[in-house]
Amino acid sequence: MKKLIAGESTITFEETESLLVFEGSMRLANMKEYDVVTDFLKESSETSPQNLTMDLRSLKFLNSSGITTLSLFILTCKKNNQPQITVLKNDNISWQQKSVTNFKKLWDDVEIKD
């Protein structure tokens, strides 16, 4: 298990399950500050070349730079055609209601589950 603490949030990568769990509120100031998140996502995807699940259900807040970071990660996976991405969302969290479905628009192969 690998863990990244980014501001008031934590991302945990469970290698055996190919699972990224996002928790807390991710409010980093700008795209440069999200570089550590980008690197963590990239390393996780390289460890899980077939399937990767991103569990966002406990991520209470994600600002626009964070949404952009996740979107760029999905586009990178699309370009490489791997890994297959599944996103677990929580419709009781407003940013997820508005933004998570857009990941499917970026790459039709993204699977979104409640």
In the chain, where are the structural domains located?
Answer: 2-113
Residues found in the chain: 114
What is the four-CA torsion angle of 96, 102, 106, 111, rounded to 10 degrees?
60
Q: Which fold has domain 2-113?
A: Transcription Regulator spoIIAA (3.30.750)
Q: Which residues lie across from 113 on neighbouring strands?
A: 88
Burial of 16 (0-12, 13-18, 19+ CB in 10 A): exposed
pLDDT (tens digit, 0 to 9) for every residue of the chain, 114 residues total?
999 999 999 999 999 999 999 999 999 999 999 999 999 999 999 998 899 999 999 999 999 999 999 999 999 999 999 999 999 999 999 999 999 999 999 999 999 999
Do residues 107 and 77 touch, judged by C-beta distance below 8 A?
yes
pLDDT in tens, 55-76: 999 999 999 999 999 999 999 9
